[in-house]
Amino acid sequence: MAQDRGPVATARPRRGPPEAATSFDEWVGSAAEELLRFARVTTGDDPADLVQDALVAVFTRWSTLDAASAVAYAKRVIVNGHVSRWRRWRRRVVPVGLSEPETAAGTPLPAEDVLVARQLLDGLPVRQRAAVFLRFYDDLSYRDIADILGCREATARSYIHRALQQLKQHLETESHR
C-alpha cells in the first residue's frame, strides 16, 4: 500500500535579484532570463546553448563564487564562448525572434528604430557590442565590464569609445545620403 507523502512541493524559480540567491538552483531561477537576454543581444547566436555552457561553468565553480560574482562570470563565459565559436566557424548568425525592446517608460520602440539599432549593433565587433550592451543596457561600470570581458578597464573604455565612434560615423554617413 502506497504511503501518502502529502502535497509535493514544486520548485519555482526565484524572481528576486541573482545576488540574493542562496543556492545554485535559486541563482539559476533568478539569473536565467537576464543571461538569455544578454546572450541574445550581445552575440546574435542561439542564446540557449551559450547560456547552458555558462551555467555548466558556473556550476563547476559554484563553491568558489558568490551569487553576485556568478552573474559576471556567466556573462564572461557567454562572451568568450561566442568569440571562440566565431573564430572557429568564421561566420555570423543573424538574431531571429527577439522580443521588441522597450523605452524607459515601458512602451515598445518603433519597429523601424529597432531594426536600425540591430543592424548598427550587428556591424560592431563582438567585444565592442558586448561592452556597449553591458554599459547602456545593464548600466554597468567600466570596471564591471572589464571583469566580464576579461580585459583591463582602459580596454573596456576603449571598446565603448570605438563602438560609439563607429556608430556615430555610420549615422552621420547615412544622414548625408
Instruction: Write the Ramachandran bin of 14: left for phi over 0, alpha for psi from -120 to 50, otherwise beta.
Output: beta
Phi, psi at 108, each rounded to 5°: -65, 145
DSSP 123: T
pLDDT in tens, 123-177: 889 899 989 888 888 888 999 999 988 999 999 999 999 999 998 888 888 776 6
Measured CA to CA, the distance from residue 49 to residue 53 in angstroms comes to: 6
DSSP 82: H
Q: Report CA-CA distances (Å) from 52 to 49, 59, 96, 131, 139.
A: 5, 10, 19, 21, 24
Does the pTM exceed 0.75?
Answer: no
- In the numeric block, which cell numbers belong to residue 54? 555558462
pLDDT in tens, 116-128: 777 888 888 989 9
Report which of 141, 148, 113 is spatially closest to residue 39, judged by C-alpha positions: 148
